[in-house]
Amino acid sequence: MNYHQLNEQDIAYLISIVGEEHAFVGKNIEKDYAHDELGTVSAYPDIHVFAFDKSHVSNIMKYAYEKNIPVTVRGSGTGLVGACVPLYGGILLDLSKMNKIIELDKTNLTLRVEPGVLLMDIYEHVEKENLFYAPDPGEKSATIGGNISTNAGGMRAIKYGVTRDWVRGLEVVLPDGEMVQLGGKVVKNSTGYGLKDLIIGSEGTLAIIVEATLKLIPKPKKTVSLLVPFASREDAIQAAPQLIMEHVLPTALEFLEKQSLQYSETFLGKKIPHNNYNAYLLISYDGNNEQAIEEDVEIASALCVDKYKALDVFLVDTEERRKSVWTVRGGFLEAIKASTSQIDECDVVLPRSNIGAFLEYVRKVSDDLKIRIPYFGHVGDGNLHIYLCKDDFSDDEWQEKLKVGFQALYEKAFSFGGLVSGEHGIGYAKREFMRKQLGEKQLAIMRGIKASFDPKHILNPGKVI
């Protein structure tokens, strides 16, 4: 790409839009803004600007479009595939301070937010009104704009779906600065091509989200979790799809294995109760009627013990137990990161029937390559998070093992009907694998779509396609 190199005049103009205290240039750009959470790729922008409202975004894009300057949008920077890294320099457009909750509409059960609002702030805001935003990605300090841009999933996807299912409308700024409204406060929509659904998951390459209208529902009055231990990984993983099939949809159905559990316990200095088993399912049910949930728990417990070889069933019913179990579960990624010098991730999603066989293969790759590969996963929805760990390997060895390891894992996943990414996206890091899976034809269509939105290719170049 042949982009315009920012000069002093450009910098001065951009500063004039957001104000001097909100723009950073050269050595004043903090190191953290050159990479994301995993840091597998890194690059500095020419200018890092914080936008405070949609007119800032629109004015910056008008200028960038006219001058042919690349623009990369950033939220909290919690991504894992390098999507917010300004590979071609230019403008790093930071929306983390566009973080106002605009309107909670109780009649239409919608929440209008700016893109920089954090997931945890959304939960807090709506739950005190007895309302519920169901998507539950692990990283609660991610922005909603980032969640929408990766179509984030999380632990409640099995029952409540993913971020896509909870976005009713978007207001976006197009690469030329024009603002358009997609969808709205409406439940149904068959009005032309699904542009809103195209923006969702497009990782900042098609348009910039400046406002989102989220769907809410009345908050389920009660949630109960079960910690169900098994003698082996195989037993636990086989139980999961059976339990879904033979009972009701749980709210969450997570798989824990001794190894990841120990990393997390060590990292957090906390232990879960009953932590001496090889493998567990962590199962939740929610609802409004106490008796109905008790019945769900009873049926599930009986099925687990009588039919699926569970060794026991522990009710996670006190606030203390709930906190310890879910905190340890939530600490997996941080713990694995802390256990080594560098990690890279495989975020495949598979039909849930194939998880057992796939994890078997992961163990084989780990043995063959002599590399540590901890993992954890949402067995309820088939999405696994698998981490290759650098440990004491040299940079060259690490690159080689990553190459061979990823190739093996993705190929096996494809053969099982899996896809490259369940919820973390493609960004920079997974482009090669997506290309392999989808093939040239789908890529060509995607490139055509990209050109329809962004004919000058100034929005987040080098990502996704």
Q: Which region, judged by CB under 8 A, interacts with a copy of itself, from 313-321, 325-333, 336-344, 414-422? A: 414-422
Would strands 252-257 and 279-287 be described as parallel, antiparallel, or unpaired?
antiparallel
**Nearest-angstrom CA–CA distance, 463 and 465:** 6
Q: By CB under 8 A, name the one of 45, 116, 201, 229 that touches a copy of itself.
A: 201
Give the C-alpha distances (Å, rounded to integers) separating 397 from 229, 321, 391, 410, 418.
Answer: 37, 42, 11, 20, 28
**Nearest-angstrom CA–CA distance, 234 and 237:** 5
Query: Restricting to residues 75-134, which ones interact with a copy of itself according to CB under 8 A?
Result: 105-110
Q: Are 170 and 54 in contact (CB under 8 A)?
A: no
Q: By CB under 8 A, name the one of 87, 162, 429, 459 that touches a copy of itself.
A: 162
Q: Pseudo-torsion of CA 212, 155, 366, 310, nearest 10°?
A: -170
Contacts of 269 (CB under 8 A, 6+ apart): none
Nearest to 226 by CA among 207, 247, 196, 199: 247
**For a copy of itself, which is the closer residue by CB, 56 or 450?**
450
Shortest reach from residue 368's CB to a copy of itself, in Å? 26
Shortest reach from residue 3's CB to a copy of itself, in Å? 22
Q: Which region, judged by CB under 8 A, interacts with a copy of itself, from 11-19, 31-39, 65-73, 157-165? A: 157-165
**For a copy of itself, which is the closer residue by CB, 31 or 193?**
193
Q: By CB under 8 A, name the one of 248, 268, 305, 404 that touches a copy of itself.
A: 248
Query: Restricting to residues 258-297, which ones interact with a copy of itself according to CB under 8 A?
Result: 287-289, 291-292, 295-296
Q: Which region, judged by CB under 8 A, interacts with a copy of itself, from 15-23, 226-234, 307-315, 419-427? A: 419-427
**Nearest-angstrom CA–CA distance, 303 and 246:** 9
Q: By CB under 8 A, name the one of 158, 256, 297, 335 that touches a copy of itself.
A: 158
Give the C-alpha distances (Å, rounded to integers) separating 224 from 116, 285, 293, 302, 459.
Answer: 31, 5, 7, 16, 44
Query: Restricting to residues 380-399, which ones interact with a copy of itself according to CB under 8 A?
Result: 380-383
370 contributes a contact to a copy of itself by CB under 8 A: no
Q: Which H or E element spans position 256? A: strand 252-257
Q: By CB under 8 A, name the one of 101, 303, 338, 446 that touches a copy of itself.
A: 446
157 contributes a contact to a copy of itself by CB under 8 A: yes
DSSP type of residue 348: -
Would strands 279-287 and 208-215 be described as parallel, antiparallel, or unpaired?
unpaired
Contacts of 432 (CB under 8 A, 6+ apart): none
Query: Restricting to residues 306-345, which ones interact with a copy of itself according to CB under 8 A?
Result: none
253 contributes a contact to a copy of itself by CB under 8 A: no
Pair of tokens at residue 441: 């034809």
Q: By CB under 8 A, name the one of 82, 241, 331, 405 that touches a copy of itself.
A: 241
214 contributes a contact to a copy of itself by CB under 8 A: no
Q: By CB under 8 A, name the one of 68, 189, 262, 407 that touches a copy of itself.
A: 189
Q: Which region, judged by CB under 8 A, interacts with a copy of itself, from 21-29, 32-40, 369-377, 412-420? A: 412-420
The pair phi, psi for residue 215, each rounded to 5°, is -85, 140
Q: Are 356 and 234 in contact (CB under 8 A)?
A: yes
19 contributes a contact to a copy of itself by CB under 8 A: no
Q: Which region, judged by CB under 8 A, interacts with a copy of itself, from 62-70, 111-119, 189-197, 322-330? A: 189-197
Q: Which H or E element spans position 271? A: none
Shortest reach from residue 232's CB to a copy of itself, in Å? 19
Question: What is the layout of strands, in order, in the sheet containing 343-346?
Answer: 314-316, 222-230, 279-287, 252-257, 375-378, 383-389, 343-346
Shortest reach from residue 152's CB to a copy of itself, in Å? 8
Binding flags for a copy of itself, 135-154, as an x/- string (CB under 8 A): ---------------xxxx-
Strand partners for 225: 284, 316
305 contributes a contact to a copy of itself by CB under 8 A: no
Q: By CB under 8 A, name the one of 353, 360, 363, 399 that touches a copy of itself.
A: 353
45 contributes a contact to a copy of itself by CB under 8 A: no
